[in-house]
Chain A
Amino acid sequence: MPTLTPRTSRTTAPAFLKGSAFLTGTAVLALSLSACGSTAVSGSAAAPAGDAAPVSNGAAQIVVSVEKVNGEEQCVPDFSSAPAGPVTFTVSNKDASGVSEVELLSDKRILGERENVIPGLKAVSFTVTLTGGEYRLYCPGATTEYKSFTVSGAAAEASGSGVATLLKEGTDGYAKYVSGQVDSLVLAVAALQQAVDSGDVPASQRAYAEARPFFERIEPVAESFPDLDPALDLRVADVEPGTEWTGFHPLEKDLFETKAITEKSKALAAGIVKNVGILKTRTAELEKDAAYQPEELANGASGLLEEVQSSKITGEEEAYSKLDLVDFAANIEGSQQAFEYLKPALADIDGTLTEQISTQFESVTTALADYKDPAALGGFKPYTDELKKTDAAKLTALIQSLQAPLAKIAEKVATV
């Protein structure tokens, strides 16, 4: 991005050419920018910005100090270049309360980062393997937010290719997972239709409870088709006056409230089978085209938790069957699956956050276990008004604690 660098170069650190004679002119300009920046730096962190960082423990070592420099909050790396290979950034915050994270970017992609770089806490570090080229340190909130960082040595075709490969494997894996869920959904709704057609209410209720989780686990994918989701999963409150209410929920009403199967119920069941068939065709195409993007998985994982908060904990999703906790568990499972497919790449980008999310998923899963009831329809206690009254606030806090860190991952794995 050449507009980032000043056109005039007042080079103050000729030494930076040492060991990197093949650097491009742009790189020289970029380096001189950071060198100029650091002339204002007083004290310890001011460094010979042109020298490549020393290598120890198999990695080039960069120390980044977040601190106040002449009253301005700055990120101050001790070196602004390193040889190609593993590079460890050790980051601490001396006294800059407005800056709390440091990222290494290649163009806009995050290659590695640490959050919670807070004044008074111990230094933290992250290691990335870099090939020759231009990078930037990004310190949101600092007076100078972006600082150039140059890596000299063999230029590879794609920087951070390890992470890119992991992300590709993740999206491919998730595509297969979605297709698998849809395959199961096809079978489950066929069984539902059969039960409804036979007029057996208890059998239809069981089939309904068995089908729902397959849909709820992949709800963000279904929702990405603007015609299919309303046809399958609209709640009565969301039906436009004058339009027909179709899908799971009017059938739920027949099976669990009026407990009577009519011709209309049978038509609803047939409609579900038809639309799930369309869903299968479309998700198969997504898999074939490798169309899933990492950020979509991430947003889907977070979106499922939004679903949990906005319609399951409130008891609106399964108002007649009280199967909200079944859907709740399925949303969590779907969210965790999407996360698991991103996890290998995410662990490279932000290991601490990855660990935190894993821990929060465990807490939620443990808490949900208390609501299991093998004798109940769908395997979970019915979400009655009484249960909602006593437990809703607790469940909300639980999900919010998971969503807060999970919502952050889209940005970290984004390919755009």
Chain B
Amino acid sequence: MSTTPASQPGVSRRKFFSRSAAVAGAGGLALGAAGGAALAAAAAPPALSDVERAAQREHLSYPFYGEHQSGIETPPQDHLVFTAFDVSATTATELQLVLAKWSAAMAELMAGNPVGKVEPAREHGIPVDTGEATDMGSQGLTLTLGFGPSLFDSRFGLEKFKPVDFADLPAMAGESLNPAFTGGDLCIQACSNDPQVAYHAVRNLARMARTSVTTKWTVLGFGRASAGANQSTPRNLMGFKDGTRNITTPEELTEQVWVGTEAGQPWMVGGSYLVARKIHMLVETWDEDTIGDQQSIFGRTKKEGAPLSGEKEHDVPNFHAMTADSPIIPADSHIALVAHENNGGTKILRRGYNFTDGLDSVGRLDAGLMFLCFQKNPEQFVALQRKLGTSDRLNEYIRHVGSAVFAVPGGLPAAGSYYGKEFFD
């Protein structure tokens, strides 16, 4: 599986130190005696310290190359920087250069390397890498690239590469979308166990493409709000566990998430569709709602996260269990509306993050859920959201303010390939 972490600490550390030595060696070549001293220092046995103990997490590194892009089935890391871009360049060649540069740089970043010199050799050199993640390690960084429907308009002659039926999401009930958080020609989802490592990655990718690409909108997620395999279920800002019944098995991924040949594009094989929804929560009013109402809105208990029909979080909800003349789990509760049992087996891989932007223009907490999900067909999300938008009692407390959909290409096979290469051959 492409996202099996290279988390054997011994292996990672050895790789890390061998790279340090290599860099020092190159410095030695340039600087003569001073460099030689640096080489000797790097070769000395490392002292045991807190740094050593943190090494496993710090040097958690996922492979960049593989059948699928990382950051989809990867167990959600702690932090998110999600950024949508518009292409300002006017020629296909410029776009090609951006995609090739990004692909190479993503490989370096995910390995915990800078994208270029932090401290150039010449006085008048401009640092290529901005430097704020220097020596921080890879921190489980994943970088996931997506193409928006607008990329396949006539600007770059990419119409014939557009996946079948790929289009902007339709307007749905319960939306109050702000154009400032909507759409984008490209997106990068950066996830990491350290927020600065994720931020550094997106900052540098945006910077190296500045002449061709402008940042359209960005969301910083500070806490994961979904669970992957073998992870405990985290909570959203409403205090409820989110993602208890998420997709975790390879079978479900194949069935619900990975695109095959049906998109009509070889570059989408092994890919997926990413739906991004910036959901503002009316946190203060939610906080003053009764526990009974809160639980019946979700269909789960707050502390344990058990379905109202059961006792434990992972008890399978029983949507037929009745109390007097109504279901124990209300039919218009959140879990009843989206459960695959009630949607012809449809599931989506949720990978959202809690976010906050401080205060909004009228003095409320500006916070909520950066909802991210992956699926084989955007229609899976649309079908579920149509039901939620019209019936979900949660709508009283949330507003969908941002929205976008992206075609996420399959993984790159090896160094020397880059995302979108087929577009330019």
A binds B: yes
Residues of A near any B CB (own CB < 8 A): 1, 3-4, 68, 72, 94-98, 100, 108, 116, 118-121, 140-146, 295, 298-299, 356, 360, 397, 400-402, 404-405, 407-408, 410-411, 414, 416
Inter-subunit contact A145/B210 (CB<8 Å): no
CB pair B26–A142 under 8 Å, yes or no, is yes
Within B9-46, the residues touching A (CB, 8 Å) are 22, 25-26, 29-30, 32-33
Contact status of A411 and B120, CB under 8 A, knowing A72-B22, A95-B415, A118-B97: yes
Complex CA distance for A1 and B207, rounded to whole angstroms: 35
Q: Which of A97, A295, A298 has the most CB of B within 10 A?
A: A97
**Which of A141, A402, A407: most chain B Cβ within 10 A?**
A141
Instruction: Provide the bound-state CA to CA distance between A3 and B126, in Å.
Output: 26
Nearest Cβ on chain B to A176's Cβ, whole angstroms: 24
Residue B101 interfacial (CB < 8 Å): yes
B355 nearest CB across to chain A (Å): 21
B116/A100 in contact, CB under 8 A:
yes
Contact of B122 among A108, A116, A143 (CB under 8 A): A108
Interface presence of B214 (CB below 8 A): yes
Can you show 13 pairs from A to B with CB atoms below 8 A apart?
A95-B416, A116-B100, A118-B101, A119-B417, A120-B418, A121-B100, A140-B116, A141-B117, A145-B29, A397-B88, A401-B214, A410-B126, A411-B124
- Having A4-B32, A94-B415, A95-B416, one finds 7 other A-B pairs with CB under 8 Å, namely A95-B415, A97-B107, A97-B415, A118-B97, A119-B417, A145-B30, A146-B26
Q: Is B125 an interface residue (CB 8 A)?
A: yes
Contact A120 B26 (CB under 8 A): no
CA distance A121 to B98 in the complex (A): 11
Candidates A4, A100, A400, A407; contact of B126 at CB < 8 Å: A407
10 A-B pairs with the lowest CB-CB distances in the bound complex, closest first: A95-B415, A3-B32, A97-B104, A410-B124, A404-B210, A414-B124, A97-B107, A95-B416, A411-B124, A118-B100
A416 in contact with B123 (CB, 8 Å): yes
A116, B97: Cβ atoms under 8 Å? yes
| B101 and A411 contact, CB distance less than 8 A | no
Question: Contact between B104 and A401 (Cβ–Cβ < 8 Å)?
Answer: no
Q: Is B133 an interface residue (CB 8 A)?
A: no
Residue of B nearest to A416 (CB): B123
Question: What is the bound-complex CA distance between A313 and B42, given in angstroms?
Answer: 47
A360 to B89, CA, bound (A): 10
Q: How far is the CB of B383 from chain A (nearest CB, A)?
A: 36
Chain A residues within 8 Å of B403, by CB:
none
Is B362 part of the contact surface with A, judged by Cβ < 8 Å? no
Q: Would B97 and A120 count as touching, CB distance under 8 A? A: no
Is B108 located at the chain interface by the 8 A CB criterion?
Answer: yes
A68 to B116, CA, bound (A): 17
Give A16 to B22 CA distance when docked, in angstroms.
Answer: 28
> Which of B123, B124, B418 has the most CB atoms of chain A within a 10 A radius of its CB?
B124
Name the residue on B nearest A109 (C-beta). B122
Most A C-beta atoms less than 10 A away, residue of B100, B117, B120, B122: B122
